[in-house]
A and B are shown apart, each in its own frame.
Chain A
Amino acid sequence: MERAVGTIASATNQLDDYVLPRLRHLDAPALAVVGGSTGAGKSTLVNSVISAEVTRPGVLRPTTRAPVLVHHPDDAGFFETERVLPGLARVSGGTASGTTELELVSATALSPGLAVLDAPDIDSVVSENRELAAQLLEAADLWVFVTTAARYADAVPWEFLRRAADRGVALALVLNRIPPGASAEITPHLTEMLAQHGLAQAPTFGIDEQPLQDGFIPAASVAPLRNWLEALAADQATRSELVRRTLVGAVDDLANRTAEVAETYDRQVATADALASVVAGAFERARGRLRDDVRDGTVLRGEVMARWADLVGTGELLRQLQSTLGRWRDRVTAAVTGRPTTSERFQGAIESGIETLLRARVAEATDEAATAWRANPAGASLLAESPDDLARPSANLPERAETMIRDWQGGLLDLLRTEGADKRATARVLSYGLNGMAMVLMVATFAHTGGLTGAEVAIAGGSSAVGQKLVEALLGDQAVRRLAAEARADLDRRTGVLLDRESRRFLDPLAALNLDPARADALRGLAQQLRKEVAT
């Protein structure tokens, strides 16, 4: 994933820095980028080749920070504009100071048609240097890769050379600082290594370790390299062939990288889908279990049933059902004794029963989802990035659950009211006490398929039947069954809303990633097209 981000960045750079400018101006001067390890003598080499100190070598590593581009005065127009390397500001006169600038130097020692860029090192402790060097090398028509006798087997340069081979970029290798007499042993070894990496055709130039003359490598030593570059500059045909080859390689590489990015994108989409489905599954299961709990009377058992028995046993239910007076009497009693009425306790039991179940199921689902996410690297980082603690249900779940249940109970009353209106029995229903009827309806809701044990039915079943019979007598047997089903559906709907909100804590960060599976296919299509264009 991170690699893909890097690939995208470098592919975009490659496109802006090289492919597009080159396609627009196929006749522009060729750009030779001199790259290599720190301390390999790149700057000295560039100075020596053009016989002028355009870039300052030094002993402190790394030396070159701002890249220096040397061109013939006639070619200035091609480089002063932001045609190539648009991300780097142009400066001149040795004022360049950072890795975001490009120093331009015009020198007559260089033939028109070829420019030389002295890039920073590829392997020092300064990471900006390494990144810029990689970017500059991608912008080259020709790599002049400088290494030394001490370095030619280093791992880092060979990673770059492998990349050069992959890209098919034109390459020349300079082996600098060869100790006297060591050439005979090193050069064949280097040639062998190049051949192993599929770079056998790259010209190699050896330069012995020797005292500098006025800061330049003696002309005789750099002559082969300079002549080769001169020849390249002079020979329009060879140069365009070289440019074409590098360009084709770059475009082909771009296509490959696009395909690679598309694949990574696919994987990312797949991961996101998997993470989302784990969450959806966990919360869907929680909802299913709650639905079962409601349907099989689980909520009724225990505390709720005991309160129901109280309610029926004390005759309060009948009073609730029968007369306003009775209800008032119970209320006054409750006010005097300071104890909640039995019907309040019954409703409280139902509320806390549903709430406890709801919270436990949400906690389970949250746990399941968080555990699954933690096992996945992408999921783990999403968990870590989340501002609230996703391993636990949201902090206000208890309040929301309570409100939800109260709303549901309120809905139950509305249901009864409208049902009463339909039956043109509003008056009767009202006179019999909505509250009591709602309580009977609640029991009917939860006792649909029974699910109660024999003993519990023995205690409460009979007495609940008393109330149920009454309500049935008022509204009709069918109506009670339908109302109970509606009340269940309503509870399920409200539960769904609550669970959705909990699951969105996981799903929203995923959705914020804005992943679109079609995008990978679009990328692949583009890559295909690129390849086709290159082939023709």
Chain B
Amino acid sequence: MSDDDWGSTSGGAPDSGRRSRKATRAADELANRLEVLDRVAALADGRIEATTAQRAASALEGARARLGHGSTHTVVALAGATGSGKSSLFNALLGDDLAPVGVRRPTTSHARAAVVGGGAESLLDWLEIPRRHHVEPTQTTDDAADLTGLVLVDLPDHDSTEAAHRAEVDRLVKVVDAFIWVVDPQKYADAALHEGYLRRFAGHSAVTLVVLNQVDLLAPADRSATQEHLGRLLGEDGLIGARVLALSARTGDGVAQLRQELAARVAERRALVARLSADLDWVANGLSIAVGDVVPDRVQGESAKRLADALARAAGVEAVADAVGAAHRRRSAQVAGWPPSRWVGRLRPDPLRRMGLDRGHRSDDPVGPSNDLDTVTVPRTSRAGPTAVADAGVDQALRALVDRTTDGLPELWRHRVSEVALQRRDELPDALDRAVGSTTMPTERPGWWSAASVAQWLFTAAMAVGVAWLALMGVVAWLGLPDLPAPSVGVMPWPTLLALGGAAAGLLLAAVVARLASVGGTRRAARARSSLVDATAVVAEQLVVRPVDAELEALAELGTLARQLAR
């Protein structure tokens, strides 16, 4: 942009074809950037500090509204302090006494616009300038500068005791296409001008022209020194390369040159795009400070895993897994334990049933952890809720997750991510309970149970037969009847062998069964634990990690867009 600002177009007209191509490119680029700004504005709410977001939104809105009025007209504002001669210059440029000029300060209290060549009614309506003048191009062409398409606006002052004037200036400097800051030898170094306006519009040097008016009051020797000093002050404001013209509206000295500069600008019709681009630069600068340098990353696997672990603890996964093991051992004893002592086990309740988790062996239950927490209705389990310690552990894990994912991000973003992470905190206990309730517990019967059971009954039967035989033999002996025949194996008679052997084999088998059940129980507990942990990980994923990731992605996109906008 630096090669086509007002600072360097005083000389010959550039090739018109190249110029229009360049203009089109600038306009296209502006359109692209506005699109980017549109996406920024959509994402900005709550993620960008309010004043910056507001600034972006109003820049977008203003740019669109202004573009809607087309670039046929170029709105140039004459701005400056009271008494610097804005109205005089307005009249001198247009060759007519349109604006009243006075010595009573402040003179102009409302903005006044002159349209060279007519039209621009809707544009002026949008600018809310009711005082309008129609100026014929011929009226101003005494020096062959054609100003057709110029909308010249005479602003009120910005530094008088009238606060309303300042408000009007503040409103209009935001929407005009180009500025002519009018200063005079008395006031050119005023803080009100430099600190109040020029520094704010430092990025707008492409559409800024500074006019040192009333040079007729200076001795010729002082003119260039003053002009040079003014240039230095402008440099300190950051308005690098802004053009400074010295003239006198009263004597007409230098006005023709200004008119030519204006004519060249108006003919080019580029001021509008340049102004809006400078606005975007300004907004983008604020945005890129707001988004910082660090690009947010998604939640790392490690963080998610720690959260899932904390959730598993809160969900009482350990206790459930233990219960699964205990239930297996208990059932194993019931099925394949030593029959005479089975009644002991029945006195204790099934630990899974007590938790309301004994539905695992139904074949129509969904297999594995459900991935959809919301559609499957699962009855509440009858376990105690998470303990305060476990709850505190979940809070801790959530905080740690937020801290790790937002390290180095702007404070507002950290706050935002933390909010998102805690948004569904209240739903966690219930979701965890449902996740545990809908997990299928490994409660299937091992195949060997039946065989062992049969063997147990056989041994018991053998023992019973042996005992009965012995009893019968005892009764017979007691009654003095002849001994029953008792065949023997080696020295051991059969009945004794049956009774003792049956008992011994049964107890031995029971011991083996208990051992196997213990191993099986441990294995089942481990399986239950792993599917329960998976289920709680799904909860962590759905209620925390996914929303946080979505937010982080939005923040990352916002950062990318802001940087893209800043170029």
Interface of A toward B, CB cutoff 8 Å: 37-40, 59-62, 123-127, 130, 148-156, 158, 177, 179, 182, 185-186, 189, 193, 209, 293, 298-299, 301-304, 306, 353, 356-357, 359-361, 363-364, 391-392, 453, 455-456
- Residues in B neighbouring A156, C-beta threshold 8 A: 159, 190-192
Interface of B toward A, CB cutoff 8 Å: 81-84, 102-106, 159-163, 166, 184-192, 194-195, 217-219, 222, 225-226, 229, 233, 236, 313, 316, 318-319, 322, 354, 384, 386-393, 395-396, 399, 403, 411, 414
Can you list 25 A-B contacts with CB-CB less than 8 angstroms, sorted by A residue number? A40-B186, A59-B219, A61-B187, A124-B189, A150-B82, A150-B186, A151-B83, A151-B187, A153-B105, A153-B161, A153-B162, A155-B161, A156-B190, A185-B102, A186-B104, A189-B104, A293-B388, A298-B387, A303-B313, A303-B318, A359-B396, A360-B391, A361-B392, A363-B396, A391-B411
Question: Given A39, A153, A193, A361, which contacts B82 in the complex, CB threshold below 8 Å?
Answer: A153
**Are A302's CB and B225's CB within 8 A?**
no
**Are A61's CB and B189's CB within 8 A?**
yes
Q: Which of A150, A158, A363: most chain B Cβ within 10 A?
A: A150
- Residues in A neighbouring B84, C-beta threshold 8 A: 150
State A151–B189 Cα separation when bound (angstroms): 13
**Are B105's CB and A357's CB within 8 A?**
no
CB of A181 to closest CB in B, whole Å: 8
Q: Which of B160, B222, B388: most chain A Cβ within 10 A?
A: B388
CB of B194 to closest CB in A, whole Å: 5
State A351–B184 Cα separation when bound (angstroms): 78
Question: Given A158, A306, A356, A453, which contacts B318 in the complex, CB threshold below 8 Å?
Answer: A306
- For the A-B complex with A155-B192, A189-B104, A193-B161 known, give 8 more contacts whose Cβ atoms are closer than 8 Å: A37-B190, A59-B218, A59-B219, A155-B159, A293-B388, A298-B388, A391-B411, A392-B403
Chain B residue at smallest Cβ distance from A59 = B222
**Are A360's CB and B393's CB within 8 A?**
yes
Given A38-B189, A182-B103, decide whether A299 and B161 contact each other with a Cβ distance below 8 A.
no
Q: Which of B166, B192, B219, B392: most chain A Cβ within 10 A?
A: B392
**Are B190's CB and A299's CB within 8 A?**
no
- Residues in B neighbouring A150, C-beta threshold 8 A: 82-84, 105, 184, 186-187
Chain A residue at smallest Cβ distance from B236 = A125
CB of B389 to closest CB in A, whole Å: 4
**Are B389's CB and A356's CB within 8 A?**
yes
Given A151-B83, A153-B105, A306-B318, decide whether A455 and B354 contact each other with a Cβ distance below 8 A.
yes
Chain A residue at smallest Cβ distance from B103 = A182
- Residues in A neighbouring B105, C-beta threshold 8 A: 149-154, 186, 189
**Are A301's CB and B399's CB within 8 A?**
no
State A195–B4 Cα separation when bound (angstroms): 52
State A359–B225 Cα separation when bound (angstroms): 69
**Are B226's CB and A125's CB within 8 A?**
no
Given A38-B189, A148-B186, decide whether A303 and B389 contact each other with a Cβ distance below 8 A.
yes
**Are A299's CB and B186's CB within 8 A?**
no
**Are A130's CB and B318's CB within 8 A?**
no
**Are B226's CB and A59's CB within 8 A?**
yes
**Are A39's CB and B160's CB within 8 A?**
no
Question: Given B83, B160, B184, B389, which contacts A353 in the complex, CB threshold below 8 Å?
Answer: B389
- Residues in A neighbouring B393, C-beta threshold 8 A: 356, 360
Chain A residue at smallest Cβ distance from B190 = A123
State A353–B391 Cα separation when bound (angstroms): 11
State A306–B319 Cα separation when bound (angstroms): 8
- Residues in A neighbouring B106, C-beta threshold 8 A: 153
State A11–B472 Cα separation when bound (angstroms): 123
Chain A residue at smallest Cβ distance from B199 = A125
- Residues in A neighbouring B162, C-beta threshold 8 A: 153
**Are B189's CB and A149's CB within 8 A?**
no
- Residues in A neighbouring B236, C-beta threshold 8 A: 125
- Residues in A neighbouring B184, C-beta threshold 8 A: 150
**Are A302's CB and B102's CB within 8 A?**
no
State A298–B392 Cα separation when bound (angstroms): 11
Chain A residue at smallest Cβ distance from B106 = A153
- Residues in A neighbouring B411, C-beta threshold 8 A: 391
- Residues in B neighbouring A62, C-beta threshold 8 A: 189
- Residues in A neighbouring B318, C-beta threshold 8 A: 303, 306
State A168–B189 Cα separation when bound (angstroms): 30
Given A125-B191, A149-B83, A359-B392, decide whether A60 and B229 contact each other with a Cβ distance below 8 A.
yes
